[in-house]
Amino acid sequence: MEKPLIYISRKIPSQLLEPYQTQYQFRMWDEEEVPVPRETLLDEVKKADGLVSMLSDKIDEQLLLAAPQLKVVANLAVGYDNIDVSAAKHRGVVVTNTPDVLTETTADLGFALLMATARRIIEANNYIKKNQWENWGPFLLAGSDIHHKTIGIVGMGRIGEAVARRAKGFGMSILYHNRTRKKDAEKMLDAQYAGFDELLQKADFVVSVVPLTDETRKIFNKNAFEKMKDSAIFINISRGATVDESALVEALKTKQIRAAGLDVFEEEPIDGTHPLMELDNVVCLPHIGSSSVETRTNMIELCLDNVDRVIQRKEPVTPI
């Protein structure tokens, strides 16, 4: 009897497949940084029982129709806005993601991005690289303090709470906005619930950790930036489409807000010609929130475990 086939849409370390080699056949796209072409993906899933997908892969009705044997899609991310979950459910395909394992790593990155933006770390490094450091001045590359400021976290899920824990260590006052109040988080972190507008008006740092939904799409728009302090710093580690980028560019150019640190963008990847890259008061990263060796390994292992369990007719660890 032929072993079930699992297709992996990006190159991963082959040793991670070793525990499953006796049970499954594996096929894999042979590039780590280049997404699998749509035509190739549609062809590869024709006989696949399981699919390990990336956020860059569109898992829609067309793909599901092309994959009559498909039983499970394991998305290598917490987010899953690349997947038509309703269509998958209709066809009996289980969809899973990778929550929890990347929480602390993403929060590390988010707070590092906040600190780099506030203290102008990238500018300062480039200042030396460009041989511009000739003298010292009392306000040379002066940034913003982080300690004892007010952080406003929009989206108090696992990652939001992890960011709040880090903020607490800096003696920051913590405001948060969420669809539902988190009484446990309020007690544990001394966090205070605030309406969205109130948070925008009071926070020195506004951090977006919301999932992308119809309600959150472009929630950070011209109106939102106008409500922020002119000294405010905006950090986005959620989804690029939660931000109206043209409004953000305008807010940064006109000093409506002081600065921004971004790990995600409306359309990815971006390059050096993107309008945000032309601004000195922006730090841009290539969507590396969960990118540590340990965490990415754990995410892949969780995906493979989910695929294995579904094919073995067991409950997956992290179903959507």
Query: Distance (Å, rounded) from C-alpha 153 to C-alpha 135?
Result: 38
Query: Distance (Å, rounded) from C-alpha 303 to C-alpha 94?
Result: 12
Residues 284/259, Cβ–Cβ less than 8 Å: no
User: Phi and psi at residue 175, in whole multiples of 5°?
Assistant: -105, 150
CA dihedral (202, 206, 209, 211) positive or negative: positive
Cβ burial 250-259 (10 Å sphere, 16+ → b, else e): ebbeeebbbb
The active-site residue out of 120, 166, 287, 309 is 287
296 is catalytic: no
Task: Give the chain's end-to-end CA distance (angstroms, integer).
Answer: 31
The active-site residue out of 31, 61, 226, 268 is 268
**Could you tell me which of 77, 27, 18 has the C-alpha nearest to residue 47?**
27
The active-site residue out of 239, 258, 296, 309 is 239
166 is catalytic: no
258 is catalytic: no
* Amino acid occupying residue 220: F
Residues 10/36, Cβ–Cβ less than 8 Å: yes
Cβ burial 117-152 (10 Å sphere, 16+ → b, else e): bbbbbbbeeeeeeeeeeeeeeeeeeebbebeebbbb
* Amino acid occupying residue 183: K
State the catalytic residues.
239, 268, 287
